Amino acid sequence: MSDTARYVRPPSAESRGEAPGRSRLSGRRILVVGGGQRTFNPATDPVGNGRAMSILFAREGARLAVADKNAASAAETVELIRNAGGQALAIAADVAREADIVRMVAEAHAGLHGLDGLVLNVGIGVGELGLANVSQTDWDATLAVNLRAPVLCCREALPKLADGSSIVFISSIAGLRSGSQLPAYDASKAALTGLMRHVALEGSRRGIRANVVCPGLVDTPLGRTASAGRPSRARAPIPFGRQATGWEIAYAVLFFISDESVYVTGQTLAVDSGLTGL
């Protein structure tokens, strides 16, 4: 390969969502908040992070509660899980509303007869680019979903989670370095790490772990929407020569949800092919 040719990391079976399950989550009951997905182009959309996580966890033996603001999208994820022989239920909830969060966690706990895992895959980026264009409305709307919602989800779920459970916050490399040009988004994603540490400390009394996964540039419907609005995103140089797939993010989260990471808590993992470290 020449010095100027860009290396492209070939996708694995895991990258494509084709690897078989290995019973890593047998008997686990997991609530995935944000388990549906956005639509960019229905004919060509790849799998989103939340849907990939939900399907993968079910393939690994877990029973799922799939929550999403878009009830139809949550139901579609559940249908995909059931068609593959898994068990799941759908919950419609808008995490910008406290009452919806309270109901969502209660329904998941009752429907699954307990909870052993919680994944918080929620996040929005709204408003104009740049600090000079920040409005109070956009700031408050962003933090309501990206930060306040995870706080309230943990408040409701922590007493219901079984001892030894796991919580995973989905942040972004925007929480590790500037880049989105949306101050509220960057600030809220960075703040998730502080929240995670507090939850990890409180949870440690019952062996409940909490960790953060920070995806880099990922080829999902949401990612394609972002690239359409900011074309420079799609042109960003990436060490592995391509964007991640939703499945590759899901496998990182699987590590934290499973007992393979039983001695890991209070940590942040960037899944970005080294984009933030190289």
Alpha-carbon dihedral 104, 87, 255, 194, rounded to 10 degrees: 0
Residue listed under structure tokens 């995909």: 80
Catalytic residue among 7, 185, 251, 263: 185
Is residue 185 annotated as part of the catalytic site, yes or no? yes
- Sheet-wide strand order for 63-68: 87-92, 63-68, 29-33, 115-120, 161-170, 209-215, 268-271
Determine contact, residues 146/123, Cβ cutoff 8 Å.
yes
- Rg of the chain taking only CA atoms, in angstroms: 18
Q: Single out the residue of 197, 203, 207, 116 nearest to residue 164, CA to CA.
A: 207
17: left (phi over 0), alpha (psi -120 to 50) or beta: left
| Alpha-carbon span 274 to 271, nearest angstrom | 8
What distance separates the 2 farthest-apart alpha carbons in the chain? 58
* Residues belonging to the active site: 185
